A and B are shown apart, each in its own frame.
Chain A
Amino acid sequence: MKGQPMFQGRVSATLRRVAPVFAGFAIVVAVAAIAGWNGAAAAGLSGREDAASGIGAWHDAPPVDAAGTGTGSRAPQTQQQLAGSDPHGAYTLTTSSCAACHRSHTAPADTLLTESAREGALCFSCHDGTGANSNVQAQYTDVNVPANNAATSSFYSHPATSPSSHISGLVDEFAGVLNRHSACADCHNPHTMNSTLAVGTSSGWRASGALAGSAGVSASPAYTWTDPIVYEDELCYKCHSGYTTLLSYSKESYKKTDKLVEFDTANASYHPIEAAGKNTTSQLAASLAGGSRWNTFTTGSTVRCVNCHGDYRAASPAANARLAPHTSRYRGLLIANYRDRDLKSSSQAYAAADFALCYLCHSQAPFSTTSEDPRADTNFRYHGKHLRGISNEGGGGLDIDTLGAGQGNAICAECHYRTHSTKLAPWAGNQDYARGVNFAPNVRPIVGEAAPLWSPVTQTCTLTCHGEKHDPESYAP
């Protein structure tokens, strides 16, 4: 119109004419889309409610094969294309094993995994006995396994089925932080596993194929992230050492100690994880020859963490067997029972079942008698007397962490309190003791002494236990 800018007039006029065209086109397209243009199934169906219930899969699906037929049957595959039904390694370039656990474009979880919640649900699709010989899922639904209780420092399982902050087993999620978790991939690398067994060496046991390719923390150099691990203990040190932040407790028997400190081979006494032990006496050799499950260890052997913290279900496993510490009915994820917190009541008789863990490797014979005669299979001739022959001795309570407790037969832990080594014994004066000797908090020092004391040189004890004064008492023959 006159007076208006020419351009504006042209645009508005054109739009008035063209707009209905585009509007009509948009309406038709919209109707077509609603009617199934998005790739839904055969025409003539009212399966709109099904668009959400499965046809969505089409959006996730890769294009059909070149023939475009959409059929499900193909010519029999070659052996190469079907190579291996084991998705855990030895991959060929044409493998389809990756798809067992990963989705390239539609993965709902981290690291392209199909699992959207807990890693374990994916692994248990096979490791529940329906796709693998190892039924790990059954271990996690074992009715005999109590729930973990952090308040009482009572742990019975590595919580692989619990939600966690886990991202990847090859990422250091533990250094210097309190981030305790154990998804399957924190211990197992599913890409590099194999069936080899653990092998004992003079520097410790080399990790089995079940742990091949996993990351851990080394002892030498100490506190160093190690990927992959070489020794089995390096996997354990990742979470059970000062490399990460351990749970802290005030009660001595609840404390979670730094295992890297305890198994240091410079210590005076330790269970031989990283090297053979310091006790090379013939008595210890004879004791080891009488173990109830493993009797071939010698004073020159190393042992595995899982020889004590392993699968309790196996009937008579070899020392190098797959003893995975997934869950246990015994506190501390132990492979056998070990009574270490509750003292015996005054009239309670000795029971071998209380110390089944120790007897796996150490002969029970010295504890089967109250005789005080010297023996060839123990360095302390009063072992039997203390465990069997002092019922009704002392008037204390039953808590091993309470000074003065004790009223009946002794338990191993009263004189061998810290079992891994003596380095972190609760009594500072015991921390360089040999032979695993370190006294529990319930053992009283003699007046004037800072700690209950033992001397292997004079073969004496200087302490008060269960009300009985040893000032000093000698066990020399």
Chain B
Amino acid sequence: MLAGTRGAELNARSWRRGALAVTGRPRLIAMLAVTCVPAIVVYAIVARSDARPLPSPGGASAAALPRHAQSLEGAARPMGVAVADDGTIYVTEGSGEHRIRVLDQQGQALLSMAAPEAEAGASAPVYVAISPAREVYVSDQGDNAIHVFAPDGAYIRDVAPPADTAGVWHPLGVGFAPDGRLLVTDVTPGQHRVMVFDPSGNFAFAFGSEGNGDGEFSFPNAAAVDGQGRIYVSDSNNGRVQIFDAAGGYVETIDAWAGGKLGLPRGLAIDGRDRMFVADTLSGLVLVYDVSGAPKFLYSFGGGAEHPLHYPNGLALDSAGRVYVTDRENNRVEVWQTY
């Protein structure tokens, strides 16, 4: 504080001078109050704004972000991934030797599989799914078939296509419903649709056609079933996920997330907590929705600086809440732990 004449002048001025004349502990308390209150107000306004995703209705733990767990190497241009209930991981290669790589939870290679007696260079496995009997179903677009392997890698048979295909089909996406039904997306030119096989492997019915209207598909890459029996189809080239009832009747469409429109949705899966995970290849993200009722976008992951996905394609969930995503151009499978 200025003393003397100068100090007297200043002390005689506005109320602010008077306030600044306060010293000691009261002054400290006053200053803290003056600084904290506006900061808290600003924080409350901005940080609580709607420019954030809503918390999951399942509670704070359901909305907790996944944490990156590990990166698994060993597959060239990995396209599809599946995880058996014992944790064994199956990954299809989109280039190189075009084999199906089998890894354990530590990422160690156990064995690899290949299509039987395929003409060299023709086999091109794309997606993989594990049946309740632990058989490994692999769609192969070079052979235009679904090959079935035993867990030890031995080839068993091919899935017989429906009779109306006259033996020629183009199976792409494969997935098993909780009740053991097999879902197959077929991309025969002009006849894109979804086929359902009963748990015994017999063709049950098909639904959909090629196009961009409700119930129509353009290169559907994946199909999955939730706990309520509803069928989710990754209608990739139409940039959307379509939801159908158990009989294949159209229900609704998901075509956007908080960041805009879906780009190229590919692998998808639904966990036991009614959360749908879908890999968006062109956005480089995994998008997560709450599908317990009307679909609600929850959050995305995979676009950060530490483990950026470079054209994610296939996606799988295991029973321990881990998400497996084929990071195609990074030649890795990325694993996240969900909560």
Contact = CB atoms under 8 A, between A and B. Distances in A.
Interface string B55-71: 10000100111111000
Interface string B184-204: 000001000000000000000
A122 to B, nearest CB: 8
Interface string A72-87: 1110110100111110
A100 B213 contact: no
Please indicate which of the listed interface residues B120, B126, B219, B313 has the most CB atoms of chain A within 10 Å of its own CB.
B219
Nearest to B285: A57
A121 B336 CA distance: 24
B255 A54 contact: no
Interface in B204-244: 212-214, 218-219, 221, 236-240
Contacts of B299: 41, 54-55
A32 B47 CA distance: 9
A221 interface: no
B120 A50 contact: no
B255 A77 contact: yes
Interface in A117-145: 117, 121, 125-126, 128-133, 135, 137-138, 140-144
A141 B53 contact: no
Contact of B2 (A9, A37, A61, A141): A9
Contact of B239 (A44, A55, A96, A114): A96
Q: Give the size category of B's interface with A.
A: 35 or more
Interface string B246-262: 00000011111111110
A351 B329 CA distance: 44
Interface stretch (B130-138, B158-166, B287-295): B287-295
B282 A125 contact: yes
Nearest to A141: B95
Contacts of A49: 67-68
B137 to A, nearest CB: 17
Please indicate which of the listed interface residues A60, A131, A144 has the most CB atoms of chain B within 10 Å of its own CB.
A131
Contacts of A51: 304
B321 to A, nearest CB: 15
Interface stretch (A19-27, A184-192, A222-230, A434-442): A19-27
Given A42-B53, A61-B260, A70-B54, A76 B219 contact: no
A72 B311 contact: no
Interface in B265-320: 266, 281-282, 284-287, 289, 294-297, 299-307, 310-311, 313
A32 B39 contact: yes
Please indicate which of the listed interface residues A42, A49, A51 has the most CB atoms of chain B within 10 Å of its own CB.
A42
Contact of B172 (A37, A72, A130): A130
B120 A143 contact: yes
A448 interface: no
A61 B255 contact: no
B264 A131 contact: yes
A77 B262 CA distance: 13
Contacts, number: 238
A41 B94 contact: no
A477 interface: no
B154 interface: no
A140 B296 CA distance: 40
Given A17-B20, A49-B68, A135-B141, A73 B254 contact: yes
A24 B236 contact: no
B6 A9 contact: yes
Q: Give the size category of A's interface with B.
A: 35 or more
A73 B296 contact: yes
B98 interface: yes
A20 B301 CA distance: 40
A63 interface: yes
Nearest to B190: A133
B63 A144 contact: no
A29 B42 contact: yes
Interface stretch (B29-37, B82-90, B102-110, B174-182): B29-37
B95 to A, nearest CB: 4
B301 A54 contact: yes
Contacts of B6: 1, 9
A52 B303 CA distance: 8
Contacts of B336: 53
A15 to B, nearest CB: 12
A37 B46 contact: yes
A52 B237 contact: no
A62 interface: yes
A56 interface: yes
Interface string A1-29: 11000000100010001001110110111
Contacts of A176: none
A69 B311 contact: no
B289 A72 contact: yes
A472 interface: no
Given A71-B296, A77-B255, A28 B120 contact: no
Interface string A388-424: 0000000000000000000000000000000000000
Given A64-B51, A82-B213, A125-B264, 8 more contacts: A25-B39, A42-B53, A57-B285, A69-B54, A70-B50, A99-B260, A116-B310, A137-B94
What are the 6 A-B residue pairs with the smallest beta carbon separation, nearest first?
A72-B297, A54-B301, A24-B35, A61-B259, A28-B39, A85-B218
18 contacts: A41-B65, A50-B301, A52-B305, A53-B306, A54-B286, A54-B302, A57-B304, A71-B295, A73-B252, A76-B252, A77-B253, A82-B238, A82-B240, A82-B255, A100-B264, A130-B141, A138-B142, A144-B120
